Structure 1
Amino acid sequence: MSFTRPFPRPLLTAALGALAMGLMAPAFAAKKEVTDIEGRKVTIASPAKRVLLGFYYEDYMAIGTEKAFDRVVGLSREGWEGWRPASWALFTAHRPSLKKLPDVGDVETQSFSVDKVLALRPDVIVLARWQYRSLGADADRLQQAGIPIVVVDYNEETVASHVASTLLIGEVTGQQKRARKIADEYRSAVEAVQARIEQAGLPKPKVYAEFGNKGPSEYSFAYGRSQWGALIDLAGGDNIAAPYVQYWGPMNPEQIIAAKPEVILITGTESSKVPTAMRMGIDVSREDALKRLESFAQRPGWSSLPAVRSKRIHGAYQGASRSVADYASVQYIAKAAYPSLFQDIDPQASYLGFYKRWLPVVPRGTFYVEPETGH
C-alpha cells in the first residue's frame, strides 16, 4: 500500500515564497538605470517587454534585431510610412506584421495621441530628441503615468550622440553586445575618414547641402548644425550654411552664389509628390537621379559656381542621414570634398553593407551619385 505524506504547511508556504521570488528575480534584476541623450536618468527593464517606438525604426531593428519588434506595441508611423514609403514597403513586405502595429500619431503634425499611447500600456517609450522636446507637457503626462521615456538622437550627427543612442537602444532591447559592435563600427569608420584628412593637411573645401524635395525652382532646406550640415563637419568640409542656418532652413540664393561652394550636395528621397524633386533611394535608377541632379545645376546663377564648373555637384539619399548607418554619408562627402584621398572607398557599398550585416533586408537603388562617374 502506498501513500503520499502531506507537505507541512509552513514548509510549503516557504517553498512557494522562494519559488515566487526566484521567478520574479530575473525581472527585478533586469531593472536598470540609464542616462539618455538628454542627460536624464531613467529606470527601465532590460529588455523592455512593451515598447512604443517614435522614430529611428531601422536603427532600432538593426541594433535590437528583428525580434525586438516582437515587443514593439505601437509606432509613430508617419516618420516611416509617410516620410519614407519605399523603405516602409521594403520592410513590410518582409515583415507584414509591421502594418498591424497601432499608430499613435505624429508629433510634427500634432496628431500624436497620449491617450492612444496610454491604451497600449508600454513599459518604455523611445523617442527622438526632437519628438521629446516638441511634446512638452504631453511628455510630462506620460511620465506621470509611470511610463519611462528614453530619448535618443541621431539627428545631431556627432560621434558621441550616435554612440550613446546606439548603446541606449541596446539597453532597451537587451542587445548590449550587438549595440557595442555597431557603435564601434560607426566610430571606427568616421575616425578613419578624419585621420586621412588630418594627415593630408589640405584646405577645407566649401560645401553646400540642400534637401532637393521642392525641385530646382524653389530653394528648400540647407543645414547648419544638424543632419547634413553636421555630416559635412565630420567629413572635413567647410559648411557654407553654418553662418546663416542654425539647424535647417533655406538660404538666400544670393548667399549661396556669394559663398562660391566648391562642392554641392543635393539630397532626395523616393517621393514623386513634386514632379521635379531630386529623387534618390530605393528603386530609383541612376539615370533618373543624374537627370534630376543636372536640373539643379541649371539654376539661375549657378553656372558661375566652382562646384558646377568643375562638375562637383552630387546627389545623396536623404534617408542615409540621422542613422547609425550614415558613416557611409561621411565617406561620400569626404570623397566628394577630397577625391584624391578616398579613391579606394565605395560609400554605396558601405551603406548596403550595413544592411547586409545588421538588417533582414537589403535595398536596391541609388543612394549616392555624381555626374562624372555616375556612382
Structure 2
Amino acid sequence: MARTARRTALLAGLLLSALGTLAPVTAGAAPTTLKDVAGREVTLELPAKRVMLGFYVEDWFAIAGDKGYDRLVGMSKGWFVKSRPVVWEQYAAARPTLRDVTDVGNVQDQTFSVEKVLATRPDVVILADWQFKALASEVPRLEAAGIPVVVVDYNAQTLDRHLASTRVLGQISGETARAERIADDYRKTVDGLRQRIAQARLPRPRVYIELGDKGPAEHSYTYGRNMWGAMAELVSGDNVAAPFVKDWGTINPEQLLASRPQVVLMAGYESVSRPDAMQMGFGIGQAEARRRLQGYTQRHGWSALPAVQDGRVHGVYHGATRSVLDAALLQYLAKALYPTLFADLDPDATYRDFYRRYLPIQPQGTFMLSLR
C-alpha cells in the first residue's frame, strides 16, 4: 500500500511538472493580425516583447507606458539624440535601460543597418512611413527573416493618420486603452478647434512657417502639404508657401514678400549651432528665444509685412511636431491665427499637462512665444 501511495505521488509530481513546463506555451498570445497606417495587414504576437523603433520616440514612450522602455531592443537614435540631446538625457536619466538600447543607424544619413536590426532579434520593427518607403529594398530582408514590419505616420499631420498611428502603437504595446484615451483627447482637440473656426466664419489669415535653423541671413525650409503646412490647413490658415512648395523646401524671398503673410511662425530646436538661429525647447529661456526671434524681423523687406507690423511673429518648438504631442501646437497655431476666437486657450499648459499625464520627464523651457 505504501509503495502504491509513493508511486501515485511520483506520478502526480511528474504530471504537475509537465503541466508547469507547458504553461508558458499555452499562456502565450496567439498571433494577431493588425492593419498599419499603410493599409498593410501584419501578423505578430501581441504585445510585442522586443521592439525595434525607427522614429516617433516620444509617442512610443507615451503610449507604451512604463513597460515600453524596457521592451525597446533597438532604435534609430541618431536623429533624436542629435536634434534633442537635452531631452534624450532626461529620458535616459529617468529610464536608464534606454542607454543600453542598440542604435541601428539612421535612414536620413544612410547609416541604417539591417544587420544591426537582425542582431537585436526584434519581435517587430516599427517604421515611419517615410522610412518604410526609403527602405523599400531592405524591408523584404527583414520579412524573410520572420520579422514583422509595421508602418506608422505622424509626419503627414492628418487627423486620421495621427489617430491610426496611436492605436497601432497601442496594439503593439498592449496598451490599447491608454492609446485610445490619447487618441480620443487628440481628436477632441482637433475637432474643437475646427468646429469653433467653422462657426466663426472668419477670413483665413495668411500664414508663413519656417524652420529657423539657418538664421535670418538665409531662408530655410518652409512647408507645403505636410508637417507645418498640414497643421496650418487643419486650423484653416492660408499657407502662403502651399502654391510654391510641395512638401518642404525653400521659398523665393521675393515671393514671400509678395505673399504678405499676416502671421509668421519660426520653428526651432535646442540644438541649433548658429548663434542667431531660432532656438526653442528644453532649457531655453524666453529672453534668448525672443532675442533670436526678433532677429528674423530684420530680414530685408520684412518690416513691410503685415505680420511684422502687427507684431504677429511667433516662435514654436519644432521638436513637438510629427507627434501626438502636437495637439498643443495646433492650439497655439489656431490662437496665433485667430487670437480673439481662442483667447481662452492655454496651449503651453496643454503641452506640459501631456508630459505630466503620460511621460516620466517634465518640460522646462520655452515652447511657444509671441513677440507681441
TM over 0.5: yes
Partner Cα separation in structure 2 for residue 225 and residue 325 of structure 1 = 20
Shift of 1:96: 2.4
Partner Cα separation in structure 2 for residue 14 and residue 67 of structure 1 = 34
Superposition map of 1:212-291 within 5 A: 212-291=212-291
Superposition map of 1:254-333 within 5 A: 254-333=254-333
Which whole-Å deviations, capped at 9, do the CAs of 1:310-360 have from their partners, x for residues lacking one? Answer: 110111000111110101111001000000011110111111110001111
Residue pair 2:126, 2:151 contacting (<8 A) in 1 also: yes
Partner Cα separation in structure 2 for residue 189 and residue 60 of structure 1 = 20
Superposition map of 1:79-90 within 5 A: 79-90=79-90
Amino acid across the alignment from 1:334: A
Which whole-Å deviations, capped at 9, do the CAs of 1:211-233 have from their partners, x for residues lacking one? Answer: 00011101111011111111111
Which whole-Å deviations, capped at 9, do the CAs of 1:50-82 have from their partners, x for residues lacking one? Answer: 111111111101000032111111111012111
Residue pair 1:312, 1:336 contacting (<8 A) in 2 also: yes
Shift of 1:48: 0.3
Q: Are 2:39 and 1:39 equivalent residues in the alignment?
A: yes
Q: Are 2:92 and 1:78 equivalent residues in the alignment?
A: no
Amino acid across the alignment from 2:224: G
Residue pair 1:90, 1:363 contacting (<8 A) in 2 also: no
Shift of 1:247: 1.1
What is the aligned partner in structure 2 of residue 368 from structure 1?
A: 368
Which whole-Å deviations, capped at 9, do the CAs of 1:205-262 have from their partners, x for residues lacking one? Answer: 0111000001110111101111111111111101111111111111111111111111
What is the aligned partner in structure 1 of residue 128 from structure 2?
A: 128
Partner Cα separation in structure 1 for residue 155 and residue 8 of structure 2 = 62
Residue pair 2:229, 2:242 contacting (<8 A) in 1 also: yes
Shift of 1:12: 9.3
| Aligned partner of residue 107 in structure 1, secondary structure | coil
Amino acid across the alignment from 1:74: G
Q: Are 2:104 and 1:104 equivalent residues in the alignment?
A: yes
Amino acid across the alignment from 1:363: P
What is the aligned partner in structure 1 of residue 180 from structure 2?
A: 180
Residue pair 2:153, 2:165 contacting (<8 A) in 1 also: yes
Shift of 1:103: 0.6
Q: Are 2:61 and 1:26 equivalent residues in the alignment?
A: no
User: CA, structure 1 residues 310+19, in 2 after alignment: closer, same or farther (shift >3 Å)?
Assistant: same
Amino acid across the alignment from 2:7: P
Residue pair 1:316, 1:369 contacting (<8 A) in 2 also: yes
Amino acid across the alignment from 2:205: P
Partner Cα separation in structure 1 for residue 241 and residue 22 of structure 2 = 59
Partner Cα separation in structure 2 for residue 85 and residue 159 of structure 1 = 29
Partner Cα separation in structure 2 for residue 92 and residue 363 of structure 1 = 15
| Aligned partner of residue 138 in structure 2, secondary structure | helix
Which whole-Å deviations, capped at 9, do the CAs of 1:171-206 have from their partners, x for residues lacking one? Answer: 110000000000001000111111111111101001
Partner Cα separation in structure 1 for residue 321 and residue 172 of structure 2 = 22
Shift of 1:15: 7.6
What's the TM-score once normalised by structure 2's chain length? 0.95
Residue pair 1:320, 1:329 contacting (<8 A) in 2 also: yes
Shift of 1:97: 2.2
| Aligned partner of residue 325 in structure 2, secondary structure | coil
| Aligned partner of residue 270 in structure 1, secondary structure | coil
Superposition map of 1:134-213 within 5 A: 134-213=134-213
> Structure 2: where are the runs of 5+ without partners?
none
What's the TM-score once normalised by structure 1's chain length? 0.95
Partner Cα separation in structure 2 for residue 62 and residue 44 of structure 1 = 22
Residue pair 1:54, 1:127 contacting (<8 A) in 2 also: yes
Partner Cα separation in structure 1 for residue 235 and residue 361 of structure 2 = 28
Partner Cα separation in structure 2 for residue 313 and residue 341 of structure 1 = 18
Residue pair 1:223, 1:241 contacting (<8 A) in 2 also: yes
| Aligned partner of residue 112 in structure 1, secondary structure | coil
Partner Cα separation in structure 1 for residue 100 and residue 273 of structure 2 = 26
| Aligned partner of residue 340 in structure 1, secondary structure | coil
Give the alignment's Cα RMSD to 1 decimal. 1.9
Partner Cα separation in structure 1 for residue 28 and residue 254 of structure 2 = 60
Partner Cα separation in structure 2 for residue 66 and residue 316 of structure 1 = 29
What is the aligned partner in structure 1 of residue 358 from structure 2?
A: 358
Shift of 1:26: 3.1
Partner Cα separation in structure 1 for residue 9 and residue 249 of structure 2 = 75
Most deviating of 20-29 and 3-12: 3-12
Residue pair 2:69, 2:97 contacting (<8 A) in 1 also: no
| Aligned partner of residue 91 in structure 2, secondary structure | helix
| Aligned partner of residue 339 in structure 1, secondary structure | coil
Alignment length, in residue pairs?
A: 371
Residue pair 2:221, 2:250 contacting (<8 A) in 1 also: yes
| Aligned partner of residue 6 in structure 1, secondary structure | helix
